[in-house]
Amino acid sequence: MWDEQGTQYLDAFAGLWCVNLGYGRKELIDAASQQMAQLPYYNLFFNTSTEPVINLAKTLASIAPAHINNAFFCGSGSEANDTVFRMVRRYWDLKQQPTKKIFIGRHNGYHGSTVAGASLGGMGYMHKQGDLPINGVVHINQPYWFGEGGDLTPEEFGLQRAQELESKILEIGADNVAAFVAEPIQGAGGIIIPPSTYWPEIQRIVKKYNILLVVDEVICGFGRTGNWFGCDTLDIKADLMPIAKGLSSGYLPIGGVLIADHVAETFKQENSGDLNHGFTYSGHPVCAAVALANVNIIRDENIIENVQQNTGPYLAAQLQRLSDHPLVGEVRSAGLLAAIELVKDKTSRSRFDSKGTAGSSCRDHALANGLILRATGDTMLLSPPLVITNTEIDQLISKISLALDNTYNDLTTPK
């Protein structure tokens, strides 16, 4: 990318976790203009549909886990999570269990910025405004070992945080709980990869208490972690998967919810009645055409295999070399999703006194050095386009190294 002065940047954040195919893919531009010329708009409300939407749904069913073969489309990840909210409650009504209404989310989870999305999410700074979360949404703690694990091993801590779900269900009563909602790997919260014990225990609990599992794939989907979905990487069996971002590589706005067969069947039963839900731009044909072209390119160019076998491991190995840096407390990655924790003391994992100073300083130094990344508090976040090459990863690492050195100097030089 180049700014208005012609300065060049390596965008190691793929716009906002979404430009998976990188900028300037002519096939996506052509898909949009051809669909615009063919049929710029039609709706999906009255037993009508359009070709790109039908083909996109078919293609998503073919790449999603085997038990997921239905899709609902909308305009964004937030709308996808709002759709989940309504769909899950309607599902339990149809199952004759109308008391199952409460959603359990996680502190520091992110599920969007609409009323339901921000409520399901656990961002304190969002909840502070406008009396969120709304009724019927509660939260448990996150599996963030580096920040909150104390003296426990990651495995002990992962188990403990998963078991908070069981305690919360027992407190509310399983008959009142509709669903647990979580990202496979938290994105906006700081690329938090749960300990290996976490997801198996979560899945044991949701099964035991008959609770739907909503796995928000808005960031992890479409190759980010080295498989089509975060669920594939972490071996999670979801009932509903909100998607957006990488679905169209951000070229046009589109989101959706992928729906497991047993949920979809409930809505298709005779006399089940409609879910009275939908948007004017649900399955917008131009957005769907671009998403379809995007998914086809990811598949046909073996982009996910390359992330899994080549660039993902290469990035992990190069990041590991940064762990000797005095500022770096931990590096972690899954595919092309990576985090660097900045600390004052490596052994105790303690932070600098004014939280976020190291992070924003590092981000500013990186930017001045032609590298775009993001900081959440003192955690540096990387999510480069999936087409990044190993040579570009070398550039990325040397730019981060320099930013770390500069940040270290700032923090340790007396003013």
Ligand X SMILES: *Cc1c(COP(=O)(O)O)cnc(C)c1O
Footprint on this chain of ligand X (rule: CB under 6 A): 76-78, 81, 110-112, 183, 187-188, 216, 218-219, 244, 255
Give the residue with the Cβ less far from ligand X, 20 or 78. Answer: 78
**Mutual angle of helices 390-412 and 312-320, in 10-degree steps:** 30
List the structure tokens of 358.
């190291």
In one-letter notation, the amino acid at residue 222 is: F
Cα 163 from chain centroid? 23
- CB-based closest residue to ligand X: 77
Which CB, 120 or 303, lies closer to ligand X?
Answer: 120
Interacting residues of 69 by C-beta distance below 8 A, sequence separation 6+:
61, 261, 264
Q: How far is the CB of 383 from ligand X (least distance, A)?
A: 10
Other C-beta atoms closer than 10 Å to the C-beta of 149 total: 18
Helix, strand, coil % over all residues of the chain, rounded to 5: 45, 15, 40
Nearest to ligand X of 147, 246 (CB atom)? 246
- Min separation Cβ 264 and ligand X, Å: 21
Least Å from the CB of residue 262 to ligand X: 23
For ligand X, the closer of residues 70 and 76 by Cβ is 76
Cα(243)–Cα(224) distance, rounded to whole angstroms?
12
Q: Are 373 and 381 in contact (CB under 8 A)?
A: yes
How near is the Cβ of 147 to ligand X at its closest, in Å?
19
* C-alpha closest to that of 183 among 106, 119, 131: 106
Residues linked to residue 192 through DSSP beta bridges, in sequence order? 186
Residue 307 contacts residue 325 (beta carbons within 8 Å)? no
Q: How far is the CB of 254 from ligand X (least distance, A)?
A: 9
Minimum CB distance to ligand X smaller for 16 or for 36: 16
Between residues 52 and 112, which has the closer beta carbon with respect to ligand X? 112
At closest approach, how far in Å is the CB of 372 from ligand X? 17
Q: Measured from the CB atom, is 224 or 399 closer to ligand X?
A: 224
- The answer to whether 381 touches 334, Cβ cutoff 8 Å, is no
- Least CB distance to ligand X at residue 242 (A): 6
354's CB contacts (< 8 A; 6+ apart) are none
